[in-house]
Structure 1
């Protein structure tokens, strides 16, 4: 009886270990490869330098602009210089938007004593609009805030915080486009967003949940201007605002840039790992933070793979997406093309690097079944680089290119780390320039993401499978993301429960 129990316990141990660690037979080889990646990137990384050169020679990377085209060509040629023979453009149509002029003036009703307020247009706002209307304070712009003023808001201009001022614990903020969608739903004639970052910082970004032009003007003022406006509103009833804007919009072509390393294992090569980040940026500065640090880290991961001549069981595609800022247009175009040529089923996993910086772990984006694998691979990474923290979280979110893949049921992950508060304050702003960037932090993102990418591309089995139509619906409901997808007109399951 004791002997049978002994062998039973040994069998359980072997089974559980194999289930937890599909790489168990290749530990030493994997750790040795991780050491090679770590040493190569520490010695030869070019992520920081190429980002600095692009910021200097190109500037911003607005989709549809001459600068955007230069950025596409810059990265294409860079990947070629790293030894990639299979580099291609993936063109798609985009409704390009660019700003012209905008003013915001405020005065009491029946007064001509208007005061100008420094302001910037949000993207995808009308080609031409002039709205004169009373201001209504909608606070943080969550649905309960709009509900509280629903009788006053029709035909008025909504004053809304971009972030959450004095937030309650656990409160989830909405994207600016979702707040704009709510404002239109409740009948607002315009939106004035108040930035929540100190220092007279102006922020831009899309106000459209669909990627198409919206019907009402949406603008952003600084935190300091917002405080002054609200103070004036408390002293003077029926304060009026005048938003006057002109913009440009036309259909143009943009291009994703894709480089491929084909899998070298017959059993796995038809499975594809996509590692992507958006190359485009807004035009107020150079977009070094958003998303230079992510996209140029991917380019350097690609460089390191070529420099080490790394082979993987699965095919790896390195993708520079354009059009993310206007509404995930590049990743949506890639998904649609993959559906048409019946290659979407080959995508087994997607890594997204959007403002990824100083990586010390990964977010498995709501797919619980990936946590053990990421943790185990992270333990091997620590043997190659003991300072790696191996933090693994499991929280799904939207509003970057991984969303396009999640909507098809494809599992995704992103590096997690940290960005200094000074740099975070320049997100989408007129101060998003190269001097915000820390070289060592970019190097950390490159070496740790390269290791994890290699690990996932070579694992015997990826635990998280592509979800079917209804399982994908259930996933988003469980992650409490249904309302956000409905506001973004991305909820494709109707009223089904």
Structure 2
């Protein structure tokens, strides 16, 4: 009799165990929430309209300018209008830079017959500089390219490609600030960057690895002007360039804008997920692509959570960073405040949206343990929207606000998608205007990122944990990013480590 009872009990337990499937229960709950998000964004999404209004009424959003201040106030008011009670400014000091005048003139040595070339200043260049010297072609500006001309470059002006043009040497491109740092390291007194986009497009961006003003002038010419200059150099090897620039710089206050959605679970609410993107832009156009599409997508993700009254387990902070373009200044200020308040360990994950457009997957930024989770959540998204590709890549990179969090060992991710070639050519350029933006593409970023954000904020566990000091060092070495961090003066582990 006892044996029969135990057998029956085993069967009951087996049936009960089989009936309980936590993954299936989670999937069913996520699918329902994802359907609500999908319907809300497709029916009532505001990212396209609010970005268009900001481009029209504010224009560019340069940190430290009156336009930058207006953008901060616009984002703050928008988040309040969406129903957030906890919206705050996070002020920080920044060395603001703005352009005044610049000219570039070229002539053969010992000639006064200078030819003017259309040019734009790179940011964080000197307040005043006037340099005349011979030009040395450094090609793509990778370290090997500088090594090849090291005996010629001291006291000269380096001619360097912004991107990579054939012949290509080395595994990856360097950021323009890193190329400028190398130019200074090898003794150059100025840098002329050549854009790699056709159509007489002029490009700007910071030339500083630290966020502070650099010591030499750095300017950019179009691809077409660069080709003409190189053809001239082949005929006249001793061409001289004269760079004459004036800029403005002063210490000002900028402000990140942060809206907080408190977590609903006592166990998880002290864990924080940050979803951020930089609100600031350069001043040559509207900054619609960089980074209007990212920051205004976040604003609409925040609206969507409020409209649906979503209450995930973990606390979410929706952050508009300022100062990213001038050296990740806003995210660095946020990390500094988190460290001072001993709250850094509460940040469990960070999503960064920088030029995120037409999302169809995510990059898990080198954290292998996150790939299965993103893939599984993506499969639920596909149940709601079969056209979602669920592409998951795992590549760590630098030069946006996620870098600041990665340096603290915090796992990060970003949406991946596509940008039309005619739009990407306007990156940091005088054609980065609202007419580049497509409503359905920005809505794709909003809905899929909102779904993934909710899933992550509501997950029972996040597989990737905050790494300690030495594990973070080992991570960057494994990702082959040490040299870039050293050039950017961000390697904090010392030369011997």
TM-score of Structure 1 vs Structure 2, range by shorter chain: over 0.9
Residues 330-370 of structure 1: CA distance to partner in whole angstroms, max 9, x if unpaired?
00000000001111110000000000000000000000000
Q: Which residue of 1 aligns with 2:438?
A: 438
* Separation in 2, partners of 1:444, 1:26: 23
Deviation at 1:450, TM superposition (A): 0.2
Residues 77-110 of structure 1: CA distance to partner in whole angstroms, max 9, x if unpaired?
0000000010000000000000000000000000
Q: Which residue of 1 aligns with 2:320?
A: 320
SS at match of 1:95: strand
Residues 143-171 of structure 1: CA distance to partner in whole angstroms, max 9, x if unpaired?
00000000000000000000000254972
> 1:339-358 to 2 correspondence within 5 Å?
339-358=339-358
* Separation in 1, partners of 2:394, 2:145: 29
**Conserved 8 A contact 1:23-1:460:** no
* Separation in 2, partners of 1:23, 1:227: 58
Deviation at 1:25, TM superposition (A): 3.1
Change (3 A) 1:167 1:478: farther
* Separation in 2, partners of 1:167, 1:158: 18
- Structure 1: which 4+ aligned runs deviate by more than 6 Å? none
> Normalising to structure 1: TM-score of the pair?
0.95
Deviates more, 1:158-167 or 1:127-136: 158-167
Matching of residue 378 in structure 1 with residue 370 in structure 2 = no
**Conserved 8 A contact 1:285-1:432:** yes
SS at match of 1:465: coil
* Separation in 2, partners of 1:429, 1:108: 30
Change (3 A) 1:361 1:169: farther
Q: Which residue of 2 aligns with 1:391?
A: 391
Deviation at 1:248, TM superposition (A): 0.2
SS at match of 2:151: coil
* Separation in 1, partners of 2:167, 2:306: 47
Change (3 A) 1:22 1:143: farther
What's the Cα RMSD here? 1.5
Deviation at 1:24, TM superposition (A): 4.0
Q: Which residue of 2 aligns with 1:44?
A: 44
SS at match of 1:152: helix
**Conserved 8 A contact 1:256-1:322:** yes
Matching of residue 466 in structure 1 with residue 486 in structure 2 = no
Matching of residue 57 in structure 1 with residue 61 in structure 2 = no
Change (3 A) 1:455 1:169: farther
Q: Which residue of 2 aligns with 1:3?
A: none
Deviation at 1:237, TM superposition (A): 2.2
Residues 7-28 of structure 1: CA distance to partner in whole angstroms, max 9, x if unpaired?
9xxx9xx99xx9xx97443221
Matching of residue 259 in structure 1 with residue 259 in structure 2 = yes
Deviation at 1:495, TM superposition (A): 2.1
Deviation at 1:496, TM superposition (A): 3.2
* Separation in 2, partners of 1:133, 1:41: 56
Q: Which residue of 1 aligns with 2:151?
A: 151
* Separation in 1, partners of 2:248, 2:371: 45
Q: Which residue of 2 aligns with 1:107?
A: 107
Deviates more, 1:203-212 or 1:230-239: 230-239
Q: Which residue of 2 aligns with 1:117?
A: 117
**Conserved 8 A contact 1:96-1:250:** yes
Change (3 A) 1:22 1:361: farther
Change (3 A) 1:23 1:243: farther
* Separation in 2, partners of 1:380, 1:234: 58
* Separation in 1, partners of 2:287, 2:424: 12
* Separation in 2, partners of 1:422, 1:150: 37
> 1:326-341 to 2 correspondence within 5 Å?
326-341=326-341
* Separation in 2, partners of 1:314, 1:399: 27
Q: Which residue of 2 aligns with 1:4?
A: none
Q: Which residue of 1 aligns with 2:5?
A: none
Give unmatched runs, 5+ long, in structure 2.
Answer: 1-9
> 1:7-406 to 2 correspondence within 5 Å?
23-166=23-166, 168=168, 171-406=171-406
SS at match of 1:25: helix
> Normalising to structure 2: TM-score of the pair?
0.95
Aligned length in residues: 482
Change (3 A) 1:212 1:169: closer
* Separation in 2, partners of 1:372, 1:170: 32
Give unmatched runs, 5+ long, in structure 1.
Answer: 1-6
> 1:392-431 to 2 correspondence within 5 Å?
392-431=392-431
Q: Which residue of 1 aligns with 2:490?
A: 490
Residues 272-318 of structure 1: CA distance to partner in whole angstroms, max 9, x if unpaired?
00000000000000000000000000000000000000001000000
Q: Which residue of 1 aligns with 2:4?
A: none
SS at match of 2:150: coil
**Conserved 8 A contact 2:102-2:121:** yes
SS at match of 1:310: coil
Change (3 A) 1:282 1:263: same
**Conserved 8 A contact 1:22-1:459:** no
Residues 36-94 of structure 1: CA distance to partner in whole angstroms, max 9, x if unpaired?
00011000000000000000000000000000000000000000000001000000000
Change (3 A) 1:109 1:22: farther
**Conserved 8 A contact 1:297-1:446:** yes
SS at match of 2:246: strand
* Separation in 1, partners of 2:387, 2:113: 61
**Conserved 8 A contact 2:140-2:168:** no
